[in-house]
Amino acid sequence: MKDIIKGKAYVVGDSIDTDQIIPAIHLVYSMKLPEERQFYGRYALCGLPEGEQGLPVGNVPFTPPDQFKSEFTFVIAGTNFGCGSSREHAPFAIQEAGAEVVIAESYARIFYRNAVDGGFVIPFESSMRLVDMIQTGDELTLDTRTGILSNATSGAEYLLNPLGDVAEILKCGNVFEYARRAGLMA
């Protein structure tokens, strides 16, 4: 886990489900082969209705059409982010697009687990409703050690919730290294 992460914000609403993060039609691609896995970056968050793509204005695709990478590093979301299916393709797609952090008011549990155990994106939680305070395109800097998030565009600073129990797994990189340290695998 990097100490400092800098980049642009992409803001979405509440209860963004996994069909909006990566629609089921795209789940057929290999997550291993480089020529195929890049399509998860292309289609990340493409299931959002157009008006809800990049708030507050909307109509900002997370990854531009025909591109594989997004210009956004942070996904800022409301409550219950990642609800719905157990598809690990969801946090994987966000990572594959090039984003590193999701900051939501709350998460659906399987998405949260998948993000942590697979080491795809860091799922921070915020007690504040950041989706009303941050706009798509804002320049953010996050110190993962302190949880302090700075918005260079607005000048505001926010304290995110501690990562808690999952910090150990995030530091290990993924659940396999965590399991090795617990003596559960070679």
Partner 1 sequence: MAQTITQKILAQHANRARVNPGENIWIDVDILMTHDVCGPPTIDIFKREFGESAKVWDKNKLVILPDHYIFTEDPHARRNIELLRDFASLHDLPHYYDVGTSQYKGVCHIALAEEGFNRPGNVLFGTDSHTCTSGAFGLFSTGVGNTDAALIMGTGKIWVKVPDTMRFVFEGDLPPYLMAKDLILSVIGDIGFEGGTYKALEFDGKAVFDLSMEERMTLTNMAIEAGGKNGIIAPDEKTFEYVRARTDHGFEPVYGDAGATFFSERVYDVSKMEPVVAKPHRPDNLANVSEVAGTKLDRAYIGSCTGGKIEDFMAAASILEGNEVRIDTFVVPASSEVTRQLRERTMNGKTIWQVFLDAGCKMGHASCGACLGGPVDTFGRTHGTEVVISTTNRNFPGRMGSKQAAVYLASPLTVAASALNGTITDPREVLV
Binding site for partner 1 (CB under 8 A): 15, 17, 19-20, 23-25, 27-32, 36, 47-49, 79-80, 83-89, 106-110, 113-114, 117-118, 165, 174-176, 179, 182, 184-185
**Measured from the CB of residue 84, what is the shortest distance to partner 1 in angstroms?**
6
Taking the complex as a whole, how short is the minimal distance between the CB of residue 98 and partner 1, in angstroms? 20
Task: Give the three-state DSSP class for 183.
Answer: coil
d(CA 71, CA 43): 14
Closest approach, Cβ 24 to partner 1, in A, equals 4
Enter the tokens of residue 122: 């860091």
Residue closer to partner 1 (CB basis): 150 or 174: 174
Give the number of other CB atoms < 10 A from CB of residue 108. Answer: 22
Q: Select 83 or 140, whichever has its Cβ closest to partner 1.
A: 83
Quick one: tokens of 93?
Answer: 């797609």
Tokens of 54: 């990049």
**Shortest separation between residue 139's beta carbon and partner 1, angstroms:** 30
CA distance 176 to 150: 32
For partner 1, the closer of residues 83 and 142 by Cβ is: 83
Residue owning tokens 């996904």: 75
